[in-house]
Every structure is written in C-alpha cells, then in structure tokens.
Structure 1
C-alpha cells in the first residue's frame, strides 16, 4: 500500500485494491474498503463506493455533505443517511446490517 498520500490519491481506487487482491488472495468479506471521493466544487453531495477485494464494487452511492457537517464531530445520532445509487444484487442488505463483519462500521 501507499504510505504517503500527497498527490497520489488518484491511485486509491479499484485498481489498487485489485492489485492487492492479486498478491494477498483475500476471501470475500476479508478486506472491505469504503472509498470516498472528494466533494466536487459546487456539489452538495459526496460519492462513495464499498469495495470487497475479492468481489469488486458492492455498492455505490452518495450522502449529503450538510448531513455529515451537522453530525460532527462524532455522529452522536448514528450514521448519516446515504442514497444508494447501485448495489451488487443480494449483497446490500448483508453489508448494511453488519452480518459480513465484526466491527459495525457500515451498520
């Protein structure tokens, strides 16, 4: 992985995760990355992807930046709402309710 992230953020996408998968051969659910794009100029939303190293992109969506700002600094009311724009069939609910992992980061 890239340890220093100054100007190399464009490398952090599905291609990097696929390269890691080639070397590490993760099982489905073993390495899941939530990848977030910077907020585009003039946009009120941020775009995200949930990527499983073994399966590829599981979900794409957005959230309203205003919702994230309103909940700073520690999300006292729980996760902010997301708008799922695409998901890999049959996987969305399992990821969302925490059955695929122990830590609940997406729960």
Structure 2
C-alpha cells in the first residue's frame, strides 16, 4: 500500500492506494502517531479496492483523535466495494463521505 500526505488550505490529506488490511494498517497508524494534533483530515480512498476490519478500526480511531482535537475526519472517493463495506457495517453513518476530495475540503470551510 502507498500512503501520500499533503496539505491543502490547512487540511491534511492522506491518499491511500492498495489493500487497506492488517498488514498495511501500521503505516496509517504511524502517520496519526507522528501527527497527534491533526484535526482536519481527509482520507482519500480512491486507490483502495479492499478494506478489512483492521482498516476500518484504524479509520475510526483516526476519527476519534480528530474529534478530540476539535476537528473531524472525512472520507472521499470510495470505490464501490469499499463503500459497500461501510454500508454493511453502518460506518457510513459515522463518517462524512464525499464524492471527491475537493468537496471534503470545502466542507471544512463551511
């Protein structure tokens, strides 16, 4: 899995690609550990075709950390297979999910 980080107008953007499973979770956990004050985060999942329970758990923990920092974590560009997992687990109710990255970034500004 690849993880790319960049910042746009004060919002941290984490772009993931590949499988987001137990073997790849440590990369994302490391990013959150290295950025403990991150509060406005968009996770772009356009390159993720598979996510397992450990990937979901990592995103929930990231969401919790962002909210503790008076912010939020938004998801963008979920592939259909990944979106189905969020719907089956009802996590689509916990996360704000956006069609594209620009909409997620704009949501922080409104």
Q: The TM-score by the shorter chain falls in which range?
A: 0.3 to 0.5
Task: Answer 1 or 2: higher relative contact order, Cα 8 Å, separation at least 6.
Answer: 2
Please, what TM-score do these two structures have when normalized by structure 1?
Answer: 0.35
- The structure richer in strand per residue is 2
Please, what TM-score do these two structures have when normalized by structure 2?
Answer: 0.34
- The structure richer in helix per residue is 2
